[in-house]
Amino acid sequence: MMLERNMTASPSRTAKVAEDHLVLSEVGMTFGTADVIPSLSLAVRRGEMVAFLGPSGCGKTTTLRMIAGLIAPSRGRISVGWRDITRLPVHERDMGLVFQSYALFPHMTVSQNVAFGLEMRGIAKREIRVRVETALEMVQLGHLSDRKPRALSGGQQQRVALARALVVEPSILLLDEPLSNLDAKLRDEMRVQIRSLQQQSGITAVFVTHDQVEALSMCDRIVVMRGGHIEQFGTPGEIYEHPATPFVASFVGRTNRLSGVVEPSGRLAAAGQGLLAEGALPVGQVQIMMRPHRVALLAAHEHVPPGHNALRGRLTGITFVGDLIQANVRVGEDEITVEQPTRRSTALPLMGAEVTVSWEAGDTMVFAGGAT
Ligand SMILES: Nc1ncnc2c1ncn2[C@@H]1O[C@H](COP(=O)(O)OP(=O)(O)O)[C@@H](O)[C@H]1O
Ligand SMILES: [Mg+2]
């Protein structure tokens, strides 16, 4: 259907599967003398949910507020469906907003809160009643429509905020850390609920979070941000398996770090031992990374299958954690963490023993430059 509409709208874009919906072109924000967002460009496709993921202070909320129209960018252009909205006021942007603090009206009931946006738009009373009911059913709060916000749990309040944002049928939904105030169990439930609502309605959504699990599990694509710029924009699989930078590798998932070198011949080595990796390698000092759970701990002279790396080291720590064994192995100046599932027959090597750590060539991530 999307493709059909595209074809009638613009024959020149028929090759695209999904059209770009929300586009930021060289958008920047300067507060006083601080260049919080130097220049940011990205395109969110129609119907997808994109996460802005990054540490606190990297500019996620600032970017979202520029998209919402709550602050005006210092430079650049924001467009929705090819229409320039950079200077459009908030209430003309057709966007639904959900924040970490639920920002409900305390003196209004749940249904009054949800109805508010529709009343502002001058919609008929009868239609408002139906739409509010539908929206509250959608977030499973139909039975609490007469309550005041203070008589609701945090999760329920956040669902009211979600219903209030969706009831006006915005073309884009913006969520800023909406689950951060909820306890772990509720957060898991709400993740599933928000994702399924977004998929059912087919709404384009931007989801700001500092939580990698949220970004990986809920979103179609992830923008990894750092210091006001984009480190990588890709699917969860791409971000996790092929991080573009050491920052992405260590921010999304956990990772080991080894310092190494790529010789002019192309040979990769760490602590004087040769290693295998896939793809082209940058000659010179490198950082080598691999995920702890992709590394196995072997006895010193155990057989290593072809296509696997083998690094000799000394066991400096080992912890049995039931499901897992966590081991630390010193290799040259670096320490490697190994995490492997336990078996009944697993015999733990002794502390100080010579061991081999092993992993598949394809699990070796290599980045130019020394340790930072
Ligand atoms: N109104 C403002 N005035 C000055 N600095 C601001 C303002 N808003 C945000 N900042 C600064 O911009 C940076 C990015 O903030 P923010 O976008 O809130 O980050 P995040 O949401 O990723 O945690 C921070 O250093 C913050 O202090
Ligand atoms: Mg923020």
pLDDT for the residue 86 = 97
CA distance 184 to 213: 12
At residue 372, the pLDDT reads 57
Give the Cα separation of 193 and 98 in Å (integer). Answer: 14
Tell me, what's the pLDDT at 103? 84
Question: Residue 360: pLDDT above 80?
Answer: yes
| Whether residue 1 has pLDDT greater than 60 | no
Closest CA to ligand 1's atom 12: 36
161: left (phi over 0), alpha (psi -120 to 50) or beta: alpha
d(CA 232, CA 226): 10
Asked if the model's pLDDT at residue 281 lies above 70, the reply is yes
Q: Residue 181's pLDDT is what?
A: 81
**Which pLDDT band, with edges at 50, 70 and 90, does 16 fall under?**
low
- Residue with the two structure tokens 């031992």: 273
Give backbone dihedrals phi and psi of 339, rounded to 5 degrees, phi first.
Answer: -130, 115
Q: Which ligand is nearest to the CA of 40?
A: 1
Three-class SS state of 198: helix
pLDDT (tens digit, 9 = 90+) per residue, 305-337?
999 999 999 999 999 888 999 999 999 999 999
CATH 3.30.450.20, domain 17-248, yes or no: no
DSSP 169: -
Q: Which of 296, 289, 308 is nearest to 366 (CA)?
A: 289
Res. 262: pLDDT tops 60: yes
Q: What is the pLDDT averaged over residues 95-114?
A: 91
Segments making up each domain of the chain, as ranges = 17-248, 255-343+350-368
| Ligand 1 environment, Cβ below 6 A | 31, 34, 36, 54, 56-62
| Nearest CA, atom 4, ligand 1 | 31
Closest ligand to C-alpha of residue 38 is 1
- As residues whose CB is below 5 A from the ion ligand 2, the structure lists 61
pLDDT-above-90 percentage for the chain: 80
DSSP 102-151: ----TTS-HHHHHHHHHHHTT--HHHHHHHHHHHHHHTT-GGGTT--GGG
Q: What percent of the chain has pLDDT over 70?
A: 95
pLDDT of residue 2: 42
Any bridge partners for residue 28, and if so which?
A: 75
State the CATH architecture for 255-343+350-368: Beta Barrel (2.40)
CB atoms within 10 A of CB 265: 6
